[in-house]
Structure 1
Amino acid sequence: MNPIEWLFDATLVIGDQQILWREIIGNLFGLASAIGGLRRKVWAWPVGIVGNLLLLTVFLGAVFHTPNPVNLLGQASRQVMFIIVSVYGWIRWAQHRHQGAAEGVEPRWAGWRVRIGLVVGMIGGTLVLTPIFRALGSFEPVWADAWIFVGSLLATWGMAKGWTEFWLIWVAVDAVGVPLLISAGYWASATLYLVYGAFTIFGFFTWMAVQRRAELTRSSAPDRAPTTPRD
């Protein structure tokens, strides 16, 4: 068996549970990407993409005939979405670095108009996607799968933009994601979601502190032009 076949088929058996190593490794790449995002490093995006590719095969369990033959279409689709949005974020952060910035992005508040748009988009997107995912045969409760997909899209987009609020969207995603993944038998992902939940709260306060320091620096140098990119 070559390394690729081993990675695709290997499982970790804990009691009566079989956990794909792809699920574990994919989530570890996701955690590494989250740490990179916390530190505002450009490498966070390509590392996340590797994890997304692995998890895409995991959440299409029935398609790939894995030990857990459950299709979570929202979870699988969001891996594709992650890859697309991550390419955008990768380019945006790299451009910011090339302009002489110390990190890939400078945290900033999104503003109330954007916040309202995010809330409306979260609820409206969930309502629209739920019947679509149900018709495609996604795992129940389908609304939770749709909620996770929409929240992940908005959070990843917010991270690319540098909005500090994106961490709070992840909190809302994790709160729904943990019970859904447990009920579907994806124990490794559910465990990582618990870790993500605590990490996202820490990330929010970390970015908020970075933003506060940047504002103090600008206020002490009024003649210096702001470096925050405009939308």
Structure 2
Amino acid sequence: MALADVVEALQRPLFTLLGTPVSWTEVLGFGSGALCVWLVTRQHLANWPVGIANNLFFVLLFTQAGLYADAGLQIVFITLAAYGWWSWTHGGGPGSKGPLEVRRTGRTEWILLLAAGAAGTILITLLLDRATDSTVPFWDALTTSLSLMATYGQCRKRLESWWLWIAADVIYIPLYAHKDLYLTSVLYAGFLLLCLSGLRNWSRALTAPPRPRPVEVTA
């Protein structure tokens, strides 16, 4: 079966929700997305490959819905997922011992993130407004920037990344409903609850006493 045939099959309606057809792509994006976020809340390494699969489904879904910034964002997410996968397993750099631990975002890091987020929102809004037929250029751009900031924090296990995800999800829920992506809107409502759980779990990990390192016994 050719790739075009697979894409076409994924975009076929599976059932109807509130009078709107729901495709295989949206259903698979729903399932893989929920699993991915749950794995992140548990600090499970498998969240990265599951997340990459979720990104691929959402590329198709958002392109079809005219959410071009969100579709392009998924490609960036795949690149960041590869980095996050490496970061979580290598502790953030050569010579690091053990897995990456949960940390707070530093002041300088916050300044750089907020500056990049503001600049990204402005630039993406202008691009979408002038180069596409997007009907929601600002909100598409804002959620894109928030998601990128949150994903960076997730890659580095920064506790505050959950607050960024929460802010993005609060906007995503009505945005997707506005674009008739009702199942995806419900999914992001679930994401919001999972983000609250992730914030709680990572906060506990941050305040937990460090695990003692095993003592090497030499002959």
TM-score normalised per structure 1: 0.82
How far apart are residue 100 of structure 1 and its match? 6.5
Q: Name 2:19's counterpart in structure 1.
A: 16
| 1:171 matched to 2:166 | yes
Distance 1:16 1:217 in 2: 53
Distance 2:52 2:133 in 1: 23
- How is 1:220-231 mapped onto 2 (pairs within 5 angstroms)? none
How far apart are residue 35 of structure 1 and its match? 1.2
Which structure has more RCO (C-alpha within 8 Å, separation ≥ 6)? 2
RMSD: 2.4
Structure 1 counterpart of 2:142, which letter? W
Q: Does the 8 A contact of 1:89 with 1:160 survive in 2?
A: yes
Relative distance call for 1:85 and 1:194 in structure 2 (3 A) is same
Q: Does the 8 A contact of 1:155 with 1:167 survive in 2?
A: yes
Secondary structure at the aligned position of 1:59 is classed as helix
Q: Does the 8 A contact of 2:113 with 2:149 survive in 1?
A: yes
Structure 2 counterpart of 1:136, which letter? A
Deviations 1:51-70 (A, max 9, x none): 11011011111xxxxxxxx3
Secondary structure at the aligned position of 2:15 is classed as strand
Question: Which of these residues, 146, 149, 162, is aligned with residue 151 of structure 1?
Answer: 146
Secondary structure at the aligned position of 2:132 is classed as coil
How far apart are residue 186 of structure 1 and its match? 1.0
- Once the two structures are aligned, what percentage of the paired residues are identical? 26
Consecutive unaligned residues of structure 2, counting only runs of 5 or more, are 214-219
Q: Name 1:56's counterpart in structure 2.
A: 59
How far apart are residue 15 of structure 1 and its match? 4.1
Relative distance call for 1:105 and 1:31 in structure 2 (3 A) is farther
- How is 1:13-52 mapped onto 2 (pairs within 5 angstroms)? 13-52=16-55
How far apart are residue 113 of structure 1 and its match? 2.1
Consecutive unaligned residues of structure 1, counting only runs of 5 or more, are 62-69, 225-231
Q: Does the 8 A contact of 1:74 with 1:138 survive in 2?
A: no
Distance 1:138 1:180 in 2: 16
Distance 2:156 2:78 in 1: 16
Structure 1 counterpart of 2:122, which letter? L
How far apart are residue 10 of structure 1 and its match? 3.7
How far apart are residue 199 of structure 1 and its match? 1.4
| 1:83 matched to 2:86 | no
Relative distance call for 1:190 and 1:107 in structure 2 (3 A) is same
Q: Name 1:217's counterpart in structure 2.
A: 210
Question: Which of these residues, 183, 192, 195, is aligned with residue 190 of structure 2?
Answer: 195
Deviates more, 1:105-114 or 1:115-124: 115-124
| Residue-pair matches, total | 208
How far apart are residue 109 of structure 1 and its match? 0.4
How far apart are residue 138 of structure 1 and its match? 4.5
Structure 2 counterpart of 1:44, which letter? N
